[in-house]
Chains A and B, each alone.
Chain A
Amino acid sequence: MIEFDQDPYRLSGTVYGVLMNDPKSLDAIGGAVNRAPYKAAPEAPVLYLKPRNTLISQNTEMQLAANEAAVEINATIGLVFKKAACRVRKEDVADVVAGMVLVTDLTIPHGSFYRPSVRFKARDHSCVVAKSIVPLNSIHEIGSVELSVEINGAHAGTYSFNNMVRSADQLVADVTDFMTLSRGDILLIGLKADAVLAKKGDRFKVTSSLGTVNGVIA
Protein backbone atom coordinates (compact mmCIF):
# COMPACT_ATOMS: atom_id res chain seq x y z
CA MET A 1 0.00 0.00 0.00
CA ILE A 2 1.01 3.58 -0.47
CA GLU A 3 1.00 6.50 1.92
CA PHE A 4 -2.34 7.98 1.01
CA ASP A 5 -2.06 10.98 3.29
CA GLN A 6 0.26 13.47 1.68
CA ASP A 7 -0.61 16.49 3.74
CA PRO A 8 -2.49 18.57 2.66
CA TYR A 9 -3.58 16.09 0.03
CA ARG A 10 -5.00 12.62 0.25
CA LEU A 11 -4.34 10.39 -2.72
CA SER A 12 -7.43 8.70 -4.14
CA GLY A 13 -5.54 5.59 -5.18
CA THR A 14 -6.51 6.05 -8.82
CA VAL A 15 -3.49 6.23 -11.12
CA TYR A 16 -3.82 6.78 -14.87
CA GLY A 17 -0.94 6.37 -17.28
CA VAL A 18 -0.46 7.11 -20.96
CA LEU A 19 1.16 5.00 -23.63
CA MET A 20 2.96 6.20 -26.76
CA ASN A 21 3.67 9.64 -25.38
CA ASP A 22 7.36 9.40 -26.17
CA PRO A 23 7.65 9.96 -29.94
CA LYS A 24 10.31 7.22 -30.03
CA SER A 25 7.72 4.67 -28.87
CA LEU A 26 5.73 5.14 -32.05
CA ASP A 27 8.90 5.40 -34.16
CA ALA A 28 9.90 1.97 -32.89
CA ILE A 29 6.75 0.48 -34.39
CA GLY A 30 7.55 2.09 -37.72
CA GLY A 31 5.34 1.45 -40.76
CA ALA A 32 3.38 -1.18 -38.85
CA VAL A 33 1.50 1.71 -37.22
CA ASN A 34 -0.53 1.97 -40.40
CA ARG A 35 -1.18 -1.73 -40.78
CA ALA A 36 -3.51 -4.08 -38.93
CA PRO A 37 -4.32 -4.21 -36.16
CA TYR A 38 -3.50 -0.53 -35.52
CA LYS A 39 -4.34 0.89 -38.98
CA ALA A 40 -3.41 4.42 -37.88
CA ALA A 41 -1.39 6.27 -35.27
CA PRO A 42 -3.33 6.99 -32.07
CA GLU A 43 -5.24 10.28 -31.92
CA ALA A 44 -6.54 10.54 -28.35
CA PRO A 45 -4.15 9.80 -25.45
CA VAL A 46 -3.75 6.01 -25.07
CA LEU A 47 -4.63 5.64 -21.41
CA TYR A 48 -4.50 2.83 -18.88
CA LEU A 49 -5.08 2.45 -15.15
CA LYS A 50 -2.81 1.08 -12.49
CA PRO A 51 -5.33 -0.52 -10.11
CA ARG A 52 -5.00 -0.47 -6.33
CA ASN A 53 -3.30 -3.86 -6.05
CA THR A 54 -0.36 -2.37 -7.93
CA LEU A 55 0.26 0.50 -5.53
CA ILE A 56 3.17 0.50 -3.10
CA SER A 57 5.32 3.22 -1.59
CA GLN A 58 8.82 1.85 -1.31
CA ASN A 59 10.89 -1.30 -1.39
CA THR A 60 8.61 -3.07 -3.78
CA GLU A 61 9.13 -6.71 -4.46
CA MET A 62 7.52 -7.51 -7.75
CA GLN A 63 7.26 -11.10 -8.88
CA LEU A 64 7.93 -12.22 -12.42
CA ALA A 65 6.29 -15.36 -13.72
CA ALA A 66 8.55 -18.32 -14.47
CA ASN A 67 8.55 -17.57 -18.22
CA GLU A 68 9.23 -13.85 -17.88
CA ALA A 69 12.78 -12.63 -18.24
CA ALA A 70 12.60 -8.94 -17.38
CA VAL A 71 10.49 -5.95 -16.47
CA GLU A 72 10.58 -2.36 -17.71
CA ILE A 73 11.60 0.21 -15.10
CA ASN A 74 9.22 2.91 -16.31
CA ALA A 75 10.15 5.73 -13.99
CA THR A 76 8.02 8.77 -14.67
CA ILE A 77 6.38 11.80 -13.12
CA GLY A 78 2.86 11.71 -11.74
CA LEU A 79 0.72 14.81 -11.62
CA VAL A 80 -1.33 14.87 -8.40
CA PHE A 81 -4.69 16.61 -8.68
CA LYS A 82 -5.75 18.95 -5.90
CA LYS A 83 -9.31 19.27 -7.12
CA ALA A 84 -11.67 17.68 -9.57
CA ALA A 85 -10.57 18.43 -13.11
CA CYS A 86 -13.05 18.48 -15.98
CA ARG A 87 -12.39 20.15 -19.34
CA VAL A 88 -9.36 21.97 -18.04
CA ARG A 89 -7.74 24.36 -20.48
CA LYS A 90 -4.04 23.93 -21.07
CA GLU A 91 -3.28 27.32 -19.56
CA ASP A 92 -5.27 26.51 -16.40
CA VAL A 93 -3.55 23.26 -15.47
CA ALA A 94 -1.77 24.82 -12.49
CA ASP A 95 -5.19 25.48 -10.96
CA VAL A 96 -5.92 21.76 -10.65
CA VAL A 97 -2.50 20.14 -10.20
CA ALA A 98 -1.06 20.14 -6.69
CA GLY A 99 2.33 18.83 -7.55
CA MET A 100 4.55 16.13 -8.90
CA VAL A 101 5.31 12.72 -7.48
CA LEU A 102 7.92 10.21 -8.61
CA VAL A 103 6.24 7.02 -9.84
CA THR A 104 7.72 3.89 -11.37
CA ASP A 105 5.35 1.78 -13.45
CA LEU A 106 6.84 -1.71 -13.62
CA THR A 107 5.57 -3.29 -16.81
CA ILE A 108 6.17 -6.69 -18.37
CA PRO A 109 7.45 -5.90 -21.88
CA HIS A 110 4.86 -6.63 -24.55
CA GLY A 111 5.09 -6.14 -28.29
CA SER A 112 1.43 -5.65 -29.13
CA PHE A 113 -0.48 -2.60 -28.00
CA TYR A 114 -3.77 -3.53 -29.66
CA ARG A 115 -5.39 -4.92 -26.52
CA PRO A 116 -5.10 -3.36 -23.05
CA SER A 117 -2.60 -5.97 -21.82
CA VAL A 118 -3.82 -5.81 -18.24
CA ARG A 119 -1.93 -9.02 -17.48
CA PHE A 120 1.33 -7.13 -18.13
CA LYS A 121 0.30 -3.89 -16.48
CA ALA A 122 -1.60 -4.78 -13.31
CA ARG A 123 0.81 -6.95 -11.34
CA ASP A 124 0.75 -6.61 -7.58
CA HIS A 125 3.19 -3.95 -6.37
CA SER A 126 4.05 -2.80 -9.87
CA CYS A 127 3.29 0.89 -9.31
CA VAL A 128 5.80 2.38 -6.91
CA VAL A 129 4.78 5.83 -5.70
CA ALA A 130 7.30 7.99 -3.83
CA LYS A 131 6.31 9.26 -0.42
CA SER A 132 6.30 12.97 -1.09
CA ILE A 133 4.49 15.30 -3.43
CA VAL A 134 6.64 18.16 -4.66
CA PRO A 135 4.54 21.30 -5.16
CA LEU A 136 4.35 22.53 -8.72
CA ASN A 137 4.55 26.26 -9.24
CA SER A 138 4.73 26.08 -13.00
CA ILE A 139 3.98 23.19 -15.33
CA HIS A 140 7.21 24.04 -17.13
CA GLU A 141 9.24 22.83 -14.14
CA ILE A 142 8.57 19.30 -15.36
CA GLY A 143 10.98 19.72 -18.23
CA SER A 144 13.91 20.22 -15.90
CA VAL A 145 13.35 17.07 -13.82
CA GLU A 146 15.76 14.22 -14.47
CA LEU A 147 15.20 10.69 -13.21
CA SER A 148 18.24 8.50 -12.75
CA VAL A 149 17.84 4.71 -12.82
CA GLU A 150 20.27 2.32 -11.18
CA ILE A 151 20.33 -1.45 -11.46
CA ASN A 152 22.24 -3.26 -8.71
CA GLY A 153 23.94 0.00 -7.78
CA ALA A 154 25.20 0.81 -11.30
CA HIS A 155 23.84 3.70 -13.31
CA ALA A 156 21.61 2.35 -16.10
CA GLY A 157 19.78 5.33 -17.57
CA THR A 158 18.57 8.90 -17.23
CA TYR A 159 15.06 9.97 -18.19
CA SER A 160 13.71 13.43 -18.86
CA PHE A 161 10.38 14.43 -20.29
CA ASN A 162 10.96 17.21 -22.76
CA ASN A 163 9.59 16.79 -26.25
CA MET A 164 6.83 14.34 -25.46
CA VAL A 165 4.01 13.92 -27.99
CA ARG A 166 1.77 15.71 -25.51
CA SER A 167 3.30 18.04 -22.98
CA ALA A 168 1.95 17.59 -19.45
CA ASP A 169 -0.43 20.53 -19.76
CA GLN A 170 -1.71 19.34 -23.13
CA LEU A 171 -2.18 15.85 -21.70
CA VAL A 172 -4.31 17.17 -18.84
CA ALA A 173 -6.40 19.18 -21.29
CA ASP A 174 -6.94 16.22 -23.62
CA VAL A 175 -7.70 13.69 -20.88
CA THR A 176 -10.10 15.91 -18.94
CA ASP A 177 -11.89 16.70 -22.18
CA PHE A 178 -13.67 13.34 -21.94
CA MET A 179 -13.29 12.20 -18.33
CA THR A 180 -13.20 13.98 -15.00
CA LEU A 181 -10.20 13.39 -12.76
CA SER A 182 -10.82 13.56 -9.03
CA ARG A 183 -8.96 15.13 -6.17
CA GLY A 184 -6.07 12.88 -5.26
CA ASP A 185 -5.90 11.14 -8.64
CA ILE A 186 -2.49 10.74 -10.26
CA LEU A 187 -1.90 11.13 -14.00
CA LEU A 188 1.47 9.84 -15.23
CA ILE A 189 2.91 12.04 -17.96
CA GLY A 190 4.32 9.25 -20.11
CA LEU A 191 6.78 6.40 -20.33
CA LYS A 192 10.16 6.65 -22.00
CA ALA A 193 10.86 4.42 -24.96
CA ASP A 194 13.86 2.14 -24.39
CA ALA A 195 13.15 1.85 -20.67
CA VAL A 196 15.82 0.22 -18.53
CA LEU A 197 15.09 -3.49 -17.99
CA ALA A 198 15.56 -5.37 -14.75
CA LYS A 199 15.90 -9.14 -14.54
CA LYS A 200 14.84 -11.53 -11.85
CA GLY A 201 16.96 -10.85 -8.76
CA ASP A 202 17.91 -7.31 -9.80
CA ARG A 203 17.55 -4.38 -7.45
CA PHE A 204 16.50 -1.07 -8.96
CA LYS A 205 16.57 2.44 -7.63
CA VAL A 206 15.27 5.65 -9.15
CA THR A 207 16.60 8.93 -7.80
CA SER A 208 15.58 12.46 -8.65
CA SER A 209 14.84 15.85 -7.20
CA LEU A 210 11.36 14.47 -6.48
CA GLY A 211 12.62 11.70 -4.22
CA THR A 212 13.55 8.06 -4.55
CA VAL A 213 11.83 4.76 -5.21
CA ASN A 214 13.43 1.36 -5.14
CA GLY A 215 12.71 -2.31 -5.14
CA VAL A 216 13.68 -5.77 -6.18
CA ILE A 217 12.45 -8.00 -8.98
CA ALA A 218 11.76 -11.44 -7.59
Chain B
Amino acid sequence: MKRARVAYGGAVHDAFPHQQGLQLADGRILGEADVVWLSPFEVGTIIALGLNYADHVKELSKELTVTSKDEPLVFIKGPGSVVGHNGQTRRPNGVAFMHYECELAVVIGKTAKSVKLQDALQHVAGYTVCNDYAIRDYLENWYRPNLRVKNRDGGTVLGPWFVDAEDVPDPQALELRTSVNGVVTQSGTTANMINSVAALIEYLSSFMTLSAGDVILTGTPDGVVNVNEGDVVECEIEGIGKLRNTLVGDPTFQR
Protein backbone atom coordinates (compact mmCIF):
# COMPACT_ATOMS: atom_id res chain seq x y z
CA MET B 1 0.00 0.00 0.00
CA LYS B 2 1.05 3.59 -0.69
CA ARG B 3 -0.01 6.44 1.52
CA ALA B 4 0.77 10.11 1.93
CA ARG B 5 0.20 12.80 4.51
CA VAL B 6 -1.25 15.98 3.10
CA ALA B 7 -2.71 19.21 4.41
CA TYR B 8 -6.07 20.15 2.94
CA GLY B 9 -8.99 22.23 4.09
CA GLY B 10 -7.42 23.11 7.40
CA ALA B 11 -6.47 19.61 8.50
CA VAL B 12 -3.80 16.98 7.97
CA HIS B 13 -5.03 13.83 6.24
CA ASP B 14 -3.82 10.42 5.23
CA ALA B 15 -4.18 10.13 1.48
CA PHE B 16 -3.91 7.35 -1.08
CA PRO B 17 -3.13 7.22 -4.79
CA HIS B 18 -6.03 7.79 -7.16
CA GLN B 19 -6.03 8.06 -10.95
CA GLN B 20 -7.03 11.73 -10.68
CA GLY B 21 -4.33 12.45 -8.10
CA LEU B 22 -5.12 11.32 -4.61
CA GLN B 23 -7.95 10.34 -2.34
CA LEU B 24 -8.24 11.44 1.27
CA ALA B 25 -9.14 8.88 3.92
CA ASP B 26 -12.58 10.50 4.12
CA GLY B 27 -13.18 9.74 0.44
CA ARG B 28 -12.60 13.11 -1.19
CA ILE B 29 -10.75 12.89 -4.52
CA LEU B 30 -8.34 15.71 -5.21
CA GLY B 31 -5.75 16.78 -7.75
CA GLU B 32 -2.07 16.57 -6.85
CA ALA B 33 -1.76 20.35 -6.85
CA ASP B 34 -4.77 20.86 -4.55
CA VAL B 35 -3.01 19.76 -1.39
CA VAL B 36 0.15 20.55 0.55
CA TRP B 37 2.26 17.41 0.67
CA LEU B 38 4.00 16.73 3.95
CA SER B 39 6.63 14.17 4.76
CA PRO B 40 4.73 10.86 4.45
CA PHE B 41 5.79 9.70 7.93
CA GLU B 42 6.71 11.24 11.28
CA VAL B 43 10.44 11.74 10.93
CA GLY B 44 12.66 10.51 13.76
CA THR B 45 16.43 10.44 13.43
CA ILE B 46 17.57 11.15 9.87
CA ILE B 47 20.65 9.12 9.04
CA ALA B 48 22.26 9.85 5.69
CA LEU B 49 24.91 8.03 3.70
CA GLY B 50 27.58 9.56 1.55
CA LEU B 51 29.48 7.69 -1.13
CA ASN B 52 27.30 4.60 -1.05
CA TYR B 53 27.17 3.93 -4.78
CA ALA B 54 30.20 2.60 -6.57
CA ASP B 55 29.53 4.79 -9.60
CA HIS B 56 29.17 7.96 -7.50
CA VAL B 57 32.46 7.22 -5.73
CA LYS B 58 34.09 6.95 -9.14
CA GLU B 59 32.47 10.25 -10.17
CA LEU B 60 33.97 12.04 -7.17
CA SER B 61 37.25 10.11 -7.13
CA LYS B 62 39.40 13.11 -8.02
CA GLU B 63 38.58 14.84 -4.76
CA LEU B 64 38.39 11.82 -2.49
CA THR B 65 40.94 10.16 -0.31
CA VAL B 66 38.72 7.21 0.50
CA THR B 67 37.88 3.98 -1.16
CA SER B 68 34.65 2.08 -1.12
CA LYS B 69 36.20 -0.36 1.35
CA ASP B 70 36.16 2.19 4.17
CA GLU B 71 33.57 2.26 6.93
CA PRO B 72 30.22 3.61 5.68
CA LEU B 73 30.21 7.41 5.55
CA VAL B 74 27.33 8.35 7.82
CA PHE B 75 26.04 11.73 8.89
CA ILE B 76 22.94 12.85 10.76
CA LYS B 77 20.53 15.52 9.64
CA GLY B 78 18.02 17.53 11.62
CA PRO B 79 14.22 17.51 11.23
CA GLY B 80 14.23 21.22 10.36
CA SER B 81 15.61 20.37 6.92
CA VAL B 82 12.56 18.33 5.86
CA VAL B 83 10.16 19.48 3.16
CA GLY B 84 7.45 17.53 1.34
CA HIS B 85 6.63 16.74 -2.27
CA ASN B 86 5.97 19.71 -4.56
CA GLY B 87 7.77 22.01 -2.12
CA GLN B 88 10.36 24.67 -2.68
CA THR B 89 14.01 24.71 -1.74
CA ARG B 90 16.05 27.88 -1.61
CA ARG B 91 19.14 28.20 -3.75
CA PRO B 92 21.11 31.06 -2.20
CA ASN B 93 22.39 33.80 -4.46
CA GLY B 94 26.00 33.48 -5.40
CA VAL B 95 26.55 29.76 -4.99
CA ALA B 96 28.13 27.92 -7.91
CA PHE B 97 27.28 24.27 -7.32
CA MET B 98 24.10 23.08 -5.69
CA HIS B 99 22.97 19.57 -6.59
CA TYR B 100 20.18 17.12 -5.91
CA GLU B 101 20.74 13.56 -4.73
CA CYS B 102 18.05 11.00 -5.49
CA GLU B 103 18.03 8.44 -2.69
CA LEU B 104 16.03 5.48 -1.49
CA ALA B 105 14.77 6.41 1.99
CA VAL B 106 14.35 3.43 4.31
CA VAL B 107 11.92 3.96 7.19
CA ILE B 108 12.45 1.84 10.28
CA GLY B 109 9.33 0.14 11.62
CA LYS B 110 10.50 -1.53 14.80
CA THR B 111 13.35 -1.11 17.21
CA ALA B 112 16.66 -2.38 15.90
CA LYS B 113 19.65 -3.01 18.16
CA SER B 114 22.57 -5.24 17.17
CA VAL B 115 20.57 -6.69 14.31
CA LYS B 116 22.11 -9.34 12.07
CA LEU B 117 22.23 -8.89 8.32
CA GLN B 118 19.81 -11.70 7.60
CA ASP B 119 17.21 -10.26 9.99
CA ALA B 120 17.69 -6.61 9.12
CA LEU B 121 14.90 -6.11 6.59
CA GLN B 122 12.35 -7.27 9.17
CA HIS B 123 12.93 -3.91 10.86
CA VAL B 124 11.91 -1.89 7.81
CA ALA B 125 8.39 -0.41 7.78
CA GLY B 126 8.63 0.94 4.27
CA TYR B 127 10.27 3.20 1.76
CA THR B 128 9.96 6.62 0.23
CA VAL B 129 12.02 8.86 -2.06
CA CYS B 130 14.43 11.49 -0.80
CA ASN B 131 16.14 14.34 -2.57
CA ASP B 132 19.08 15.11 -0.29
CA TYR B 133 20.35 18.47 -1.57
CA ALA B 134 23.93 19.65 -1.13
CA ILE B 135 25.68 22.94 -1.77
CA ARG B 136 29.26 22.09 -2.54
CA ASP B 137 30.47 25.69 -2.24
CA TYR B 138 30.26 25.27 1.52
CA LEU B 139 32.21 22.00 1.79
CA GLU B 140 34.86 21.98 4.48
CA ASN B 141 36.98 19.04 5.54
CA TRP B 142 35.71 18.90 9.12
CA TYR B 143 33.03 16.33 9.86
CA ARG B 144 32.55 16.38 6.10
CA PRO B 145 29.95 16.62 4.66
CA ASN B 146 29.40 19.47 7.08
CA LEU B 147 25.94 20.68 8.05
CA ARG B 148 26.22 23.95 6.15
CA VAL B 149 26.37 21.81 2.99
CA LYS B 150 23.77 19.25 3.95
CA ASN B 151 21.47 20.44 6.71
CA ARG B 152 19.91 23.50 5.19
CA ASP B 153 16.23 24.36 5.51
CA GLY B 154 14.35 22.55 2.76
CA GLY B 155 17.38 20.42 1.94
CA THR B 156 15.77 17.05 2.77
CA VAL B 157 12.84 16.49 0.41
CA LEU B 158 10.74 13.42 1.31
CA GLY B 159 7.77 11.80 -0.38
CA PRO B 160 5.36 11.75 -1.98
CA TRP B 161 4.36 8.23 -0.89
CA PHE B 162 5.25 5.92 1.94
CA VAL B 163 5.30 2.42 0.47
CA ASP B 164 4.95 -0.59 2.75
CA ALA B 165 8.00 -2.83 2.89
CA GLU B 166 5.94 -5.86 1.88
CA ASP B 167 5.32 -4.20 -1.48
CA VAL B 168 9.07 -3.89 -2.13
CA PRO B 169 10.36 -7.46 -2.26
CA ASP B 170 13.94 -6.48 -3.17
CA PRO B 171 15.16 -2.99 -2.23
CA GLN B 172 18.41 -3.71 -4.11
CA ALA B 173 16.70 -3.98 -7.49
CA LEU B 174 15.13 -0.56 -7.99
CA GLU B 175 15.84 1.90 -10.78
CA LEU B 176 16.49 5.50 -9.73
CA ARG B 177 16.18 8.47 -12.05
CA THR B 178 16.39 12.24 -11.68
CA SER B 179 15.23 14.74 -14.24
CA VAL B 180 15.73 18.49 -14.29
CA ASN B 181 13.05 20.36 -16.21
CA GLY B 182 12.07 17.07 -17.81
CA VAL B 183 15.56 16.09 -18.98
CA VAL B 184 17.01 12.97 -17.36
CA THR B 185 20.33 13.82 -15.68
CA GLN B 186 20.84 10.92 -13.28
CA SER B 187 20.00 7.28 -13.55
CA GLY B 188 21.13 4.29 -11.60
CA THR B 189 20.05 1.25 -9.70
CA THR B 190 20.02 0.37 -6.04
CA ALA B 191 21.86 -2.79 -7.09
CA ASN B 192 24.99 -0.59 -7.14
CA MET B 193 24.87 0.32 -3.46
CA ILE B 194 28.16 -0.42 -1.74
CA ASN B 195 26.39 -1.12 1.56
CA SER B 196 22.97 -2.66 1.04
CA VAL B 197 19.91 -1.60 3.04
CA ALA B 198 20.32 -4.69 5.22
CA ALA B 199 24.04 -4.06 5.70
CA LEU B 200 23.37 -0.46 6.72
CA ILE B 201 20.83 -1.53 9.33
CA GLU B 202 23.30 -4.10 10.65
CA TYR B 203 26.10 -1.52 10.79
CA LEU B 204 24.08 1.30 12.34
CA SER B 205 22.31 -0.90 14.86
CA SER B 206 25.68 -2.22 16.03
CA PHE B 207 26.34 1.09 17.81
CA MET B 208 23.00 2.90 18.02
CA THR B 209 19.44 1.76 18.59
CA LEU B 210 17.16 2.54 15.66
CA SER B 211 13.50 3.25 16.39
CA ALA B 212 10.29 3.37 14.39
CA GLY B 213 10.29 6.53 12.28
CA ASP B 214 14.06 6.73 11.97
CA VAL B 215 15.00 6.99 8.32
CA ILE B 216 18.12 5.96 6.46
CA LEU B 217 18.91 7.94 3.31
CA THR B 218 20.95 5.40 1.43
CA GLY B 219 23.08 7.57 -0.86
CA THR B 220 22.93 8.52 -4.50
CA PRO B 221 24.34 7.15 -7.76
CA ASP B 222 26.44 9.23 -10.14
CA GLY B 223 24.98 11.98 -12.27
CA VAL B 224 24.67 14.87 -9.85
CA VAL B 225 24.66 18.17 -11.72
CA ASN B 226 24.21 21.78 -10.73
CA VAL B 227 20.65 23.04 -10.54
CA ASN B 228 19.51 26.63 -10.79
CA GLU B 229 16.77 28.88 -9.53
CA GLY B 230 13.52 27.96 -11.25
CA ASP B 231 14.55 24.40 -12.04
CA VAL B 232 12.03 21.65 -11.39
CA VAL B 233 13.78 18.56 -10.06
CA GLU B 234 12.04 15.18 -10.09
CA CYS B 235 13.57 12.21 -8.32
CA GLU B 236 11.91 8.92 -9.16
CA ILE B 237 12.39 5.43 -7.81
CA GLU B 238 10.72 2.51 -9.51
CA GLY B 239 7.63 1.44 -7.59
CA ILE B 240 8.17 4.01 -4.84
CA GLY B 241 7.25 7.35 -6.36
CA LYS B 242 8.26 10.49 -8.17
CA LEU B 243 9.28 13.35 -5.88
CA ARG B 244 9.11 16.87 -7.27
CA ASN B 245 10.83 19.98 -5.93
CA THR B 246 11.36 23.47 -7.29
CA LEU B 247 14.45 25.59 -6.71
CA VAL B 248 13.66 29.15 -5.76
CA GLY B 249 15.89 32.15 -5.28
CA ASP B 250 16.42 34.56 -2.43
CA PRO B 251 13.61 36.91 -3.57
CA THR B 252 11.04 34.17 -2.91
CA PHE B 253 12.36 34.08 0.65
CA GLN B 254 12.30 37.88 0.72
CA ARG B 255 16.04 38.08 1.10
Pairwise interchain contact A48-B143, C-beta atoms closer than 8 A: yes
Stretch from A69-77, A119-127, A149-157, A161-169 at the B interface:
A119-127
Q: Is the CB–CB distance between B153 and A37 below 8 Å?
A: no
Q: Within 8 Å CB of A43, what residues of B?
A: 140
**A-binding segment of B26-34, B72-80, B221-229, B230-238:** B72-80
**Interface contact B76-A38, CB-CB below 8 Å:** no
The minimal Cβ–Cβ distance linking A78 to chain B, given in whole angstroms, is 15
A31-75 interface (Cβ within 8 A of B): 36-40, 42-44, 46-49, 51-54, 65
Q: Across the interface, which residues of A come within 8 angstroms of B207, CB to CB?
A: 65, 119, 122-123
Determine if B80 and A180 form an interchain contact, defined as CB atoms under 8 angstroms apart.
Answer: yes
Contact B151 A51 (CB under 8 A): no
Alpha-carbon separation in the docked complex, A14 to B79 (Å): 8
B168 to nearest A CB, angstroms? 25
Contact of A113 among B47, B143, B147, B148 (CB under 8 A): B143
Would you call A47 and B151 a contact (CB within 8 A)? yes
Task: Indicate whether A19 sits within 8 Å of B148 (C-beta atoms), given known contacts A44-B138, A53-B210.
Answer: no
Q: Is the CB of B208 within 8 A of A19?
A: no
* B211:A39 contact, CB within 8 angstroms: no
A136 shortest CB reach to chain B, Å: 22
Contact B74 A119 (CB under 8 A): yes
Whether a CB of chain A sits under 8 angstroms from the CB of B141 is yes
- Is A44 in contact with B140, judged by CB distance below 8 angstroms? yes
Near B by CB (< 8 A), chain A positions 101-138 give 113-119, 122-124
Residues of B within 8 A of A158 (CB): none
Partner of B146, one of A12, A46, A119, A182: A46
Question: With the chains together, A69 CA to B142 CA distance in Å?
Answer: 25
State whether B143 touches A179 (Cβ < 8 A).
Answer: no
Chain A, 1-38, CB within 8 A of any chain B CB:
12, 14, 16, 19-20, 36-38
| Chain A contacts for B113, CB-based, 8 A | 124
- The verdict on B81 contacting chain A, using a C-beta distance below 8 Å, is yes
Q: Residues of A contacting B20 with CB < 8 Å?
A: none
Complex: chain A residue closest to B92, CB-CB: A178
The interface residues of chain A lying within 8 Å CB-to-CB of B141 are 37-40, 114
Chain A contacts for B75, CB-based, 8 A: 116, 118
Roughly how many angstroms separate A178 CA and B208 CA in the complex, as a whole number?
28
CA distance A59 to B108 in the complex (A): 28
A16 touches B78 (CB 8 A): yes
Residues from chain B with Cβ under 8 Å of A47 in the complex: 143, 146-148, 151
A52 to B152, CA, bound (A): 20
- The reply on A181 being an interface residue by CB < 8 A is yes
Q: Once the chains are docked, how many angstroms separate the CA of A82 from the CA of B54?
A: 44
Report Cα–Cα, A38/B141, bound state, in Å.
5
Within 8 A of A (CB), among B73-112: 73-81
Q: Cβ of B47: which chain A residues have Cβ within 8 Å of it?
A: 51, 118
A118 touches B74 (CB 8 A): yes
- Give min CB distance, A165 to chain B, whole Å: 12
Tell which of A14, A39, A40, A86 touches B78, judged by Cβ atoms closer than 8 Å: A14
A-facing mask of B9-47, CB < 8 A → 1, else 0?
A: 000000000000000000000000000000000001101
Contact with A40, one of B140, B145, B209 (Cβ below 8 angstroms): B140
Which of A114, A115, A179 is close to B153, meaning CB atoms less than 8 Å apart? A179
Q: Contacts A19-B142, A116-B143: A44 and B148 contacting too (C-beta < 8 A)? A: yes
State how many angstroms separate the Cβ of B215 from the closest Cβ of chain A: 11
4 tightest CB-CB pairs across the interface, nearest first? Answer: A51-B45, A47-B147, A49-B76, A116-B75
Q: A49-B76, A53-B210 are in contact. List 7 more A-B contacts (CB 8 A).
A: A46-B146, A52-B211, A53-B209, A115-B73, A115-B143, A124-B209, A179-B153
B residues apposed to A, CB below 8 Å: 44-45, 47, 65, 71, 73-81, 113, 138, 140-148, 151-153, 207-211, 214
Return 11 A-B CB contacts under 8 Å, by A number: A47-B147, A49-B76, A54-B208, A65-B207, A113-B142, A114-B141, A116-B73, A178-B138, A178-B152, A179-B148, A179-B153
